[in-house]
Amino acid sequence: MKPVLHLFIMIDACGWEILQGRPFLKGLAPHRRKLESVFGYSSTCVPSILSGHWPDEHRNWCYFVYDPEHSPFRSLRALRWLPSAVTGRRIFRRWMSKFVKVQLKFRGYFDLYNIPFRFIHLFDFTEKKSPLQPKGMNRGSNIFDLLEEGKVPYFVTDPSRPEEENRDRLIADLEKQRIDFAFQYWAGLDGLLHMVGNDSPQIGTKLDVYEDWVTRTVEAAKRNYQTVRLHVFSDHGMANCDTLVDMRTVIEALPLEFGKDYAVVYDSTMARFWFLTGRARPLIEQALAGMPHGRILPEEELRHYRAFFEDGYFGELIFLMPEGVLIVPSHMGERPIRAMHGYHPTDPQSYASLLTNYEEVPDHITHIPHIHRLMEAALPSTAPKP
């Protein structure tokens, strides 16, 4: 028997609201807490958990940024002549994304999404490394750097393998007592929620499957470790999208040229603008004021949520939709999806959850980056704290 296992299981999008009224893991993880998430998508929530730092510190925020000087995508511009019936297809985009990821040696998650090839040479992609590996942050350290430094043997999910395979790999490591720390990351619920929404009966079925997997993992742990510190948590929640807004048509009707006067990335819940000429900002701000939904986030609010970037790297103006409103078409997708996250952190469905068998979760664990403080318990006391 080994003394202690620090077991961290992240179920993507298993938000606080989704769990209300469900007995999910009440037996194994009776201590439950609502956590405030971080403003942004999984591209920022997961790195924030893994590093214990905020977006303005680690600079893993949104995926695509306007940065023609550093764009690695120049060669893809040739594809602009292909008919959009081909380049707009999800299957083509997925295949291209895999090809580009290998060509450019990107280590993290990569998807071309719906960025038009006509403009792709103007953009850079900000997650070239994998936050799930040591030295994987854009800035600063993550838990894996500290575990390696402290020589703590650990397991981490390989996101290129199916969930079941990662489940079995971890259980095998536990049976062999090979590790003292595990970070298991299951993404399937997030994908399902995007498709069917948070009130579908399929959600309960999926949670039952996860309950079984967590139980099997914990049983294997208890056979091999005297103490198992279990933490099951999420990075954010999920809101159903019942209202669609076409921002692109409104902005493209302005007497401005994309790439000359302005640049924009339409994420699915926010639009991020860069202004290249003096006349672009007033015209765009005026158009935004006329939008039926959404608002410009003031600097002080972005600062409060630790997502203000002094250099405007991720956009000089951030326009955010209220919960339930989806930007369609966007650079993330041409067609609507049933549910989305990435709304304001205090919108009801945004909150994340923390479920644990550990009674003494300190009061200062209130936001998802604080999960890192719980993970630090696995480090030898001599290891430097971040």
Q: Which residues bind Zn ion (CB under 5 A)?
A: 190
Closest to Zn ion by CB, 190 vs 323, is 190
Closest to Zn ion by CB, 127 vs 190, is 190
Cα separation, 176 vs 219, whole angstroms: 14
Question: Taking CB positions, which residue lies at the least distance from Zn ion?
Answer: 190
Looking only at the bridges linking them, the beta strands covering 262-266 and 270-275 are antiparallel
Closest to Zn ion by CB, 180 vs 190, is 190
Give me the least distance between CB of 342 and Zn ion, in Å please: 8
Closest to Zn ion by CB, 72 vs 237, is 237
Give me the least distance between CB of 190 and Zn ion, in Å please: 4
SS3 96: helix
Cα-flanking dihedrals φ and ψ of residue 227, to 5°? -125, 135
Closest to Zn ion by CB, 162 vs 298, is 162
Give me the least distance between CB of 43 and Zn ion, in Å please: 10
Cβ neighbors of 102 (< 8 A, separation 6 or more) are none
Cα separation, 152 vs 144, whole angstroms: 9
Residue type, 123: F
Cα separation, 12 vs 7, whole angstroms: 16
3-state secondary structure 273-306: EEECCCCHHHHHHHHHHCCCCCEECCHHHHHHCC
Residue 5's CB is within 10 A of a number of other CB atoms, namely 25
Give me the least distance between CB of 274 and Zn ion, in Å please: 25
Structure tokens at 321: 């939709």
Cis ω for the linkage preceding 329 (within 30 of 0): yes
Closest to Zn ion by CB, 6 vs 194, is 194
Give me the least distance between CB of 145 and Zn ion, in Å please: 26
Cα separation, 75 vs 276, whole angstroms: 23
Closest to Zn ion by CB, 146 vs 339, is 339
Give me the least distance between CB of 306 and Zn ion, in Å please: 21
SS3 226: strand
What are the CA-CA distances from residue 350 to residues 111, 218, 353, 368 (Å)? Answer: 23, 28, 10, 12
Q: Based on the number of CB atoms within 10 Å of its own CB, is 282 exposed (0-12), middle (13-18) or buried (19 or more)?
A: exposed
Structure tokens at 104: 């450019």
Give me the least distance between CB of 13 and Zn ion, in Å please: 6
Closest to Zn ion by CB, 145 vs 190, is 190
Give me the least distance between CB of 267 and Zn ion, in Å please: 12
Decide if 33 contacts 354 (C-beta within 8 A).
yes
CA-wise closest residue to 50 among 179, 187, 156, 186: 156
Give me the least distance between CB of 268 and Zn ion, in Å please: 9
Q: Which residue has the tokens 């993330």?
A: 332
Closest to Zn ion by CB, 269 vs 356, is 269
Give me the least distance between CB of 191 and Zn ion, in Å please: 7
Closest to Zn ion by CB, 190 vs 211, is 190
Decide if 245 contacts 227 (C-beta within 8 A).
no
